[in-house]
Structure 1
């Protein structure tokens, strides 16, 4: 006996990774009967995902294009004490709202919202209300897994979209304004000018702890805006904590005997040094749409294990950042990095640093105490 919930592919989690997988299959394999299951009222959550042009190849761009709400072809900027720079690489932002709208339009009744999950198996999903989904394949895209298996620092942030009474005067994204007071690790302000009077201001930290003091960070954003002369009201809020992984045990994070396929952050598919997952989410969704449904648990784990191995260099840099640099001096590592060639910087963010890039990043006078840097280098992360 079949049920309306029976399908070929059940995707559990309607965030960025699960949503992109659903859109890739809807476009490339419309014969596959899929269900996207999201516990929230709408898929996508409350997020802004930004990326450089080099993060997503031109051939893959079609998948993320419907989600874009802003593009800055003139490039972006960074600011550090005694050093500011404009880089020509265009910058883009996608948001949760067009992701939700696109999924609702493309999937229709194949999108289940307000649907918590009780248990997963390779061919079955038990919902919290007792219903069951039988599927040829199940993929778990519900966000982070057991982060206790990883050694992490944290990139944490609170962001406000401000509607200003007068033009704010910022003409391109400022990826890092590190001229602000340093506290709780490496602190910077991130700016996205959405139009001449609306600007997204995010207070961001590379911190040793994931703790968010939201009222204090709200106050710092207000003080930053006031110092810029922006009289504004808050029209949107966002906050989050991303792991910056500098070691750990992949086999603990994703045990070999776990029989369910994974995607996204739950599979460890993010840039270890930044925590950003959008480039990997695009690549993985399109790779997955080209795979047979039978054998997805082994195939996705092998994909994620290869990604973990490739990330060793970035975990080493993360270990240097959190282990060798004093918290109030971490900004010097980024200031030095942003003096390097733009193409190298772009490949770094895309997680595609060449061997030459890797050597160049580590060469020269280190911006951390040499003894601490060497101790870190001689004790590389797992």
Structure 2
């Protein structure tokens, strides 16, 4: 702002009608913000109506640096230390228990010399308090999420070497809370249940759903030894939650008989085909099925049986593996996964399959993995003493 323009703001033009200077002065007077103009000695040469009301007096003529009489005013609306600056300065200040954003702008003459400054005090107390409350709310929510994550992590099964089976897994969540869940546990001395589920969505709701799934399956497993019937009952229990059609999950559930090495399974819409590693090759278990959802309440699930042998391994996983993308937008896909598995089989390194998969996925991925990743490997072995 030039000196002449400043004068136009402060003085009426004297012409008939409403001049631009009239409008400018009225605009400053009607601003809710506190406005004042200081000369280079710190004297107030203009104060608008809002500032006068705030101070309780007309501060025009007050010297903000040296006027002891108006010390209270100086404390309320401190003068900027940017009087000689040729650039706009914005700072925040607490005044009488309220928070203000203060914008100080230079007023220059025709030669570019700073001859005055105009200061605008905008009350941001409400915004500041809202930001503070939001920050505290987010911090509290993050604490709750962290707590829920610890609970979720504690529910993961123990990596075990059992009498006839080896279990290993890798579990990575894209967010603090995951929508992937897997588990394995004994039904009785000879039968062991294993499953993997992928919940639609992420975050708190998906995490709560995984806890529902785990509790439901463990409570149903003894009464429903048939995988197909268990999935049907699980769907029935899920429908009673009345969560809506947009909430659903997939589940591959199997029961392993360690006496005859038979794996009986049913697929509840889990589109990540389990991989069977045996006889030096990879076989995909392609079995259709519908997700656990309120949309398919009357569709029965089917179960099948596989005969396994010593050395055979079953890989279960979620779509976070095959759907991860590189910088060209290409997905990792089943082909790459099959190549990795073929190599570990050929090198007799099935036990290292999970680490090799994650290594290749991390090299392929562009940025962070956008989805949760769960990998579970079950391998049949010779009888030996059980190690926990």
TM tier relative to shorter chain:
under 0.3
TM score, norm. by length of structure 1: 0.22
Larger radius of gyration, structure 1 or 2?
A: 2
TM score, norm. by length of structure 2: 0.22
Question: Larger relative contact order (C-alpha < 8 A, sep ≥ 6)?
Answer: 1
